[in-house]
Structure 1
Amino acid sequence: MATIVYIDGFNLYYGAVKGTPNKWLDLEALCRRLLPKDNVVKIRYFTALISARPSDPQQPARQQAYLRALGTLPLVEIHHGHYLSHPVRMRLANPPARGPKTAEVIKTEEKGSDVNLATYLLLDAFRQRCDTAVVISNDSDLAEPIRVAEKELGIKVGIVNPQKPQHRSRAMRSTFFKQLRPGVLASCQLPPTLQDAQGVIRKPARW
């Protein structure tokens, strides 16, 4: 029985990792903890490359270090989406009594990861690469691909919710469900130093 795990990188980050000391996450160790009885043959990690911001110019370098670290894990395959930035007008939280009520801001959205995840989920099921798929995400846009994989393509699909339990999407229905706990993340960290073909990879100091 082969299992493939599909990780929505940004859903995982913003749901369970941001603001914690657990960013140097070992995805293979995480899957072993979550699925101790499964034969995990591949872990697909979906993300997008971020750009530097004036408030945090080193953020892309930290991400690159982490992606290099993930590249040392034999089961992990990284799939890239992209960012789209565009101006939008939004309401001010506390507008002045006699001033403007809105402001134009640059909104940056991650695009492609959910589509890529859904595509590989269905492709792997269609090509019979796995008997079980496990999706680590709380994105309700994945509800229909999960339904098709189960009902039309005949595989089992499990969901691991990285968000807080009260934020669980009820649209996400599957064969089985798990809630990701903070303690699991803390116990599944990569070594502070790793090696790849380019040289030494070090855990970022701020992590």
Structure 2
Amino acid sequence: MRTAFFVDGYNLFYGLLADTRFKWLDLPRLLLHIVQIEEPASRLASVDYFTSSVKPSLATRGRASKEAQDTYIRALKAAKVKVHLGRHQLEPAKAPRFVDKSTHASRQDTVDIWKLEEKETDVNLAVSMYRLASKQACRPASERIEQLVLVSGDTDMTPALRAIREDFPELTLGVILPYRPEYQRPPPGSLKALAHWMRRVITAEELQGHQFPHRVTTHKAPAIKPDYW
């Protein structure tokens, strides 16, 4: 079963990898490991990874955070992952002032804030999934993708999954939630209802067992694991 993966990089990082020592993740190997547990006949056809560039001025480690992300993207590309970059938009906004947990938010009592939003990632991911699904009928049977797997817990992807499920019922849809077991989050109901199968957590043992080597060969300079990762 030829399988294409679509990964929400922001969701993956903050749901699974932040504050861990497993950021140097060999994503294709991990995804193939998971999908073959769900369906042993699965084969990896492609991995598409969607993210936005780090803004050094807002990152915990400044320029080093941006350099670490760039290095990881080079390692992913060397592993034949197709990387799609969106953008971050920072603009002034207003938000309700926090008083305490017993006081409701009010639009009559606001403070000025900087609002950071990731732009284009969700739309790019949804369009890419649908476009790939729509092209399969024109391909030779031996080259057709038979399974699409979303790696995200974002319910904004629900309309895309619903459209694919309705328009291309021959395709199998899987969802891998980038959650740690200790978080005990309930699965997003709308994604669960549309998926043929869902993996709810990824363990620390799985992350540890699927890391890139310290030095990844690329077409140019090698990608070397950032020191603080």
Q: What SS is found at the alignment partner of 1:70?
A: helix
Name 2:200's counterpart in structure 1: 179
Q: Distance in 2 between matches of 1:182 and 1:61?
A: 27
Q: Distance in 2 between matches of 1:7 and 1:167?
A: 20
The answer to whether structure 1 residue 82 and structure 2 residue 87 are counterparts is: yes
The answer to whether structure 1 residue 22 and structure 2 residue 43 are counterparts is: no
Q: Distance in 2 between matches of 1:70 and 1:194?
A: 9
- Report the alpha carbon displacement of residue 94 of structure 1 after superposing the two structures with TM: 4.4
Name 1:191's counterpart in structure 2: 213
Kept in 1, the 8 Å contact 2:32–2:43? The answer is: no
Name 1:68's counterpart in structure 2: 74
- Report the alpha carbon displacement of residue 85 of structure 1 after superposing the two structures with TM: 1.1
Q: Which amino acid letter does the alignment assign opposite residue 50 of structure 1?
A: V
Q: Distance in 2 between matches of 1:167 and 1:50?
A: 29
Specify which of 117, 122, 129 is matched with residue 130 of structure 2. Answer: 122
Unpaired runs of 5+ residues, structure 1, are 96-100
Q: Distance in 1 between matches of 2:152 and 2:175?
A: 7
Which moved further from structure 2: 193-202 or 86-95?
A: 86-95
- Report the alpha carbon displacement of residue 201 of structure 1 after superposing the two structures with TM: 1.5
Name 1:98's counterpart in structure 2: none
Q: What SS is found at the alignment partner of 2:222?
A: strand
Q: Distance in 2 between matches of 1:190 and 1:137?
A: 21
Count, aligned residues: 202
Q: What SS is found at the alignment partner of 1:135?
A: strand
Q: TM-score, normalised by structure 1?
A: 0.91
Q: Which amino acid letter does the alignment assign opposite residue 81 of structure 1?
A: G
Q: What SS is found at the alignment partner of 2:189?
A: coil
Q: Distance in 1 between matches of 2:186 and 2:115?
A: 23
For residues 47-58 of structure 1, the aligned pairs below 5 Å read 47-53=51-57, 55-57=60-62, 58=64
Q: What SS is found at the alignment partner of 2:210?
A: coil
The answer to whether structure 1 residue 203 and structure 2 residue 225 are counterparts is: yes
Q: What value does the CA root-mean-square deviation take over the aligned residues? A: 1.8
Q: Deviations over 1:165-191 (max 9, x none)?
A: 424211112111112323222211111
Q: Which has the higher helix share?
A: 2
Q: Distance in 2 between matches of 1:6 and 1:195?
A: 24
Q: Distance in 1 between matches of 2:196 and 2:187?
A: 16
Kept in 1, the 8 Å contact 2:187–2:200? The answer is: no
Specify which of 40, 43, 57 is matched with residue 39 of structure 1. Answer: 43
Name 1:108's counterpart in structure 2: 116
Name 2:177's counterpart in structure 1: 161
Kept in 2, the 8 Å contact 1:122–1:145? The answer is: yes
Kept in 2, the 8 Å contact 1:81–1:111? The answer is: yes
Q: Distance in 1 between matches of 2:83 and 2:118?
A: 15
Which moved further from structure 2: 12-21 or 142-151?
A: 142-151
Unpaired runs of 5+ residues, structure 2, are 101-108, 137-143
